[in-house]
């Protein structure tokens, strides 16, 4: 079964809590930079106190000691899953895995879903970057360091599932229904396609957050995910 994670990209706790009241079937929430910066760890504790699993998406990319410290705190406050950036390198990823102690599932961000080949190439100073090859390369770095899985766009799920085998978790943002606007996401697909290709977790934000009826939109994604 594929899990559906709601990206709680709302600016304030009050908005997030109002939304949670509307979604009783929700099991997983993703807390990212916006909400974490504003509300901090107490908000995470509120979420876990409601029985929700928290996916902390801060995409850590720092020196190994700092990332290990952050993972330790995430573990202490009850986070179930968290992101580290694979571009942080093997030493950083391995330190993070030790700090997680098997209690926080760490997944490695490969290439952000907002990148296309040209933009990514400019960021890393290379020309003609084949994003699929780059995602595969970074996913293998993540696996070698002992991470539980990776984050990738819907376009690379089937490649990674074939390459990594059945075990690793594959977390996929950039999920849209046919009629949903892509927004700033460059590589999107439907929930059904991502699930068919081997995603274990789908991350959906704006198509639910900005829907006129968030509960109905959530239910649609849930049906597709399952
Ligand atoms: O609103 P939308 O459905 O595009 O939200 C996707 C969520 O997934 C956002 O919170 C974004 O920060 C996150 N994400 C992403 N691409 C990654 C990792 C996380 O879009 N590679």
What pLDDT, in 10s, does the model give residues 17-48?
999 999 999 999 999 998 999 899 999 999 99
Grade residue 185 by pLDDT with cuts at 50, 70 and 90: confident
Mutate to test the pocket of ligand 1, among 5, 106, 174 (most ligand atoms within 8 A of CB): 174
In angstroms, the Cα distances linking 151 to 42, 125, 179, 182, 202 are 26, 23, 24, 18, 10
In angstroms, the Cα distances linking 142 to 45, 73, 94, 108, 170 are 28, 21, 9, 6, 12
Q: Of 55-59, 111-115, 194-198, 199-203, give the lowest mean pLDDT range.
A: 111-115
Both structure tokens of 50: 């409601």
pLDDT average, residue stretch 147-175? 96
Residue 59 annotated among the catalytic residues of the structure: yes
Is 203 near ligand 1, meaning CB less than 6 Å away?
Answer: yes
Which ligand 1 atom is nearest residue 109's CA?
21
The residues pairing with 56 across neighbouring beta strands, listed in sequence order, are 31, 82
Is 112 near ligand 1, meaning CB less than 6 Å away?
Answer: yes
CB-CB neighbours of 123 under 10 Å: 13
Nearest to 7 by CA among 41, 35, 25, 31: 31
**Higher pLDDT, residue 180 or 32:** 32
- Which residue is associated with the tokens 């020309």? 127
């Amino acid at each position: 079964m594929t899990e559906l994670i709601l990206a709680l990209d709302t600016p304030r706790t009050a908005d997030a809590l109002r939304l949670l009241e509307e979604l009783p079937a929700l099991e997983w929430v993703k807390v990212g930079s916006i909400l974490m910066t504003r509300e901090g760890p107490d908000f995470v504790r509120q979420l876990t106190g409601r029985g929700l699993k928290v996916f902390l998406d801060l995409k850590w990319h720092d020196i190994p000691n700092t990332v290990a410290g952050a993972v330790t705190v995430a573990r202490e406050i009850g986070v179930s899953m968290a992101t580290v950036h694979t571009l942080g390198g093997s030493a950083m990823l391995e330190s993070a895995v030790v700090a997680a102690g098997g209690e926080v599932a760490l997944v490695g961000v490969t290439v952000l879903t907002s990148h296309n080949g040209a933009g990514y190439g400019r960021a890393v100073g290379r020309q003609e970057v084949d994003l699929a090859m780059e995602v595969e390369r970074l996913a293998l770095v993540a696996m070698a360091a002992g991470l539980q899985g990776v984050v990738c766009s819907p376009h690379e799920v089937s490649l990674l599932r074939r390459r990594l085998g059945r075990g690793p978790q594959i977390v996929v943002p950039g999920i849209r229904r046919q009629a949903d606007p892509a927004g700033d996401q460059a590589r999107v697909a439907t929930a059904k396609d991502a699930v068919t290709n081997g995603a274990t977790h789908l991350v959906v934000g704006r198509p639910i957050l900005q829907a006129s009826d968030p509960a109905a939109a959530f239910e649609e994604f849930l049906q597709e995910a399952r």
